[in-house]
Chains A and B, each alone.
Chain A
């Protein structure tokens, strides 16, 4: 329903008209590039496992930032800041999933 559009000030809707969505395109290109770099590094065996691991993690964090700034317009919008709560929760969950998976999947390693 249209109520949504009315309530979100950052969302200009149809009036944007002919403007080319540059932010989205730039964001899209950067996110594709980040993915391709990660793929290339793995396929080319560019570095040892530890280095690869850290590099891909850094790329992943950059990817999150690209998504937040280029597509999710984190700086725009008024009203209650639900997105801050959700983002905090999201970061807690992401941390849990990544750190938890590493912790779990290195099983057996500590005893050898």
Chain B
């Protein structure tokens, strides 16, 4: 049972120099942020421009900054693990600390790095691509962001207060049950994921509705950019998959907090049921994060090949096929449960089938480049790096899908190498490509190429140096989640190489970060709004886009709408007579999403430590926020024509 008599040494994590270091750095960074904001009198600016914003472009930027910070934290976790495994019998991390680090690494990278990064790209690009002025539900969009943000904060807090979760990112019972896991760490995991999960579901609904309902006149579904199709597929997956995770986590939380027995064998429950439900969400989840990356590659490859995408209809069909089939493969994560030949064969087959539409997409990207005028810019480099990388990841995935062989690979480093190859090679490469591609649209300047190239090459080569040895280690019997190994296993050299690769990737990240800082001061300004000679509507706008996006909603006549407009202008076809400007209806900013999510954080923190008074206060504040919103009629306003004219003129447009 949970320990009710907490004292300070339970509350604050003590006794580990790394954590003392973290304590100090958190305090120092917090003081620095407060001091800078106060010195430059930026508190009001922060509140008005960012914390209360409902503008999809700003929310996208905040998602991206959060994702990059979490990529840093998750990356530091990875480097700590690789340092511990560099040599046999290392004494760098204790077993317990190692368990915590691989748990937080996995959870952060999937839920607090990959998810916000795809949401960042969706927010930044989707409304601009479909010719809309915002998403369908801007207020809900702000709630989504802050729920994610406070969920992530709650999760990260566990590192210094109470102790991190240590049952793996999958948090399987019985290990995650209170019988074997006393501390508050697992509670942190469960509540942080629940809170950010609410935000994720809301984002799925928001973008589903936005894409179906808010397209500019003339933009039929089959004229949408492929990124929109990818996000539509992702939204469908989010809507159907996340509720299953919510249920699985809620049942485990009830087990831990209220002493139920859903997943305890002796109490009549079945721990395998958690694993079953976790992967009903977990498998669609990997497609949730990788499909937007596929969408970004489609945009990047088409733009920098100077051609329309090859096989558009087959790309759409394969996206949809992946979205549906991804629901029929979840058991391949636990073939070794031994559910019998019938079950294992079915799921092995469905797993092999899903590789087919993915293969179709790879060939379409290659065919798009074929005979194209390829410009090897930074986003294109990430796309080019992705293709061989993901092909290897996909091929090893098919190896893993062979159920009898999986008994050999299961939970070995072969598996680790496989999913890192798909998730880094697919998602991280994709999101970085998207970041470099849309950066000028977000901020009005380009990211400098020299740093970006160093970042790309260190990260890309480092990736292979890090993970190819892990395939071999898997074959040699090294299993995941071991914190040390003896000499004489034959693993030492490969582990050392892998660690070197990990540090090369870390160096690559530093180059990327340094490039961002350098470009803020010296980056090339984007004055045209169309620095890449783009094909889709977001490039028809100035950079950064005005907050109402389109002064006049464009009329779309073809796929790659902006490209067609440019071609028509070159041929002297004048754009049809322009309508008079009309006042633009926009949503008002609101501080309530921030306060609502903060209240969830308070309630969640109370539950972590069984401080129920705090929980009640938190939920009461949540209810108050919801009620106030219900009776709030002052939610929107009109931008007058004069102001639109002034803004457009400041961009040199009329």
Contacts of A10 in B (CB 8 A): none
Taking a contact as CB atoms under 8 Å apart, the answer to whether B213 and A4 are in contact is yes
Shortest distance from the beta carbon of A84 to any chain B beta carbon, whole Å? 13
- Would A4 and B209 count as touching, CB distance under 8 A? yes
Point out the residues of chain A lying under 8 angstroms from B137, CB to CB: 4
Cβ of B280 and Cβ of A90 under 8 Å apart?
no
Tell me whether B337 and A93 are in contact (CB under 8 A): no
The winner among A1, A89, A107, A108 for most chain B CB atoms within 10 A is: A1
- The smallest C-beta distance from B299 to any residue of chain A, in angstroms, reads 24
Name A111's closest neighbour in chain B (CB-CB).
B340
Total number of B residues with any Cβ neighbor in A under 8 Å: 33
Of the four ranges (under 10, 10 to 19, 20 to 34, 35 or more), the interface on chain A belongs to 20 to 34
A97 / chain B contacts, CB cutoff of 8 Å: 244, 280, 327
- The one of B136, B324, B327, B338 in contact with A107, judged by C-beta atoms closer than 8 angstroms, is B338
Partner of B324, one of A14, A86, A89, A103: A89
Chain B 258-287 per-residue mask, 1 if CB under 8 angstroms from chain A, else 0: 000000000000101100110010000000
Shortest B322–chain A CB gap in Å is 14
A7→B587 CA distance, assembly (Å): 17
Are B340 and A108 in contact, CB atoms less than 8 angstroms apart? yes
In chain A, what residue has the closest Cβ to B339? Answer: A107
A105, CB-defined interface residue at 8 Å: yes
| Cβ–Cβ contact A1 & B331, under 8 A | no
**B134 interface neighbour in A1, A96, A103, A110, Cβ under 8 Å:** A1
Q: Residue on A with the closest CB to B585?
A: A2
The yes or no answer to A104 lying at the interface (CB within 8 A) is yes
Q: Does A19 belong to the interface (CB within 8 Å)?
A: no
In the assembled complex, the Cα of A44 lies from the Cα of B15 at a distance in Å of: 49
Contact indicator B338/A105 (Cβ below 8 Å): no
Given A82-B212, A105-B270, A107-B337, the answer on whether A1 and B133 have CB atoms closer than 8 Å is: yes
Scan residues 275-327 of chain B and give those whose CB is less than 8 A from a CB of chain A: 276-277, 280, 324, 327
Contact A1 B240 (CB under 8 A): no
Indicate whether B236 reaches chain A with its CB closer than 8 angstroms: yes
Q: Report Cα–Cα, A95/B189, bound state, in Å.
A: 29
A96 to B327, Cβ gap below 8 A?
A: yes
Within 8 Å of chain A (Cβ to Cβ): is B214? yes
| Distance of A1 Cα from B236 Cα, bound (Å) | 22
Q: Roughly how many angstroms separate A95 CA and B236 CA in the complex, as a whole number?
A: 16
Residues of A56-112 at the interface with B, using a CB-CB cut-off of 8 Å, are: 80, 82, 86, 89-90, 92-93, 96-97, 100-101, 103-105, 107-108, 110-111
- Across the A-B interface, give the 3 residue pairs with the lowest CB-CB distance, nearest first: A107-B339, A93-B240, A104-B339
Q: A2-B636, A105-B272 are known; give 12 further A-B pairs, CB within 8 A.
A: A1-B133, A1-B586, A3-B585, A86-B236, A89-B236, A89-B324, A93-B327, A100-B328, A103-B343, A104-B331, A104-B339, A105-B276
9 contacts between A and B (CB under 8 A): A1-B138, A1-B585, A2-B585, A92-B324, A105-B276, A107-B338, A108-B338, A110-B340, A111-B340
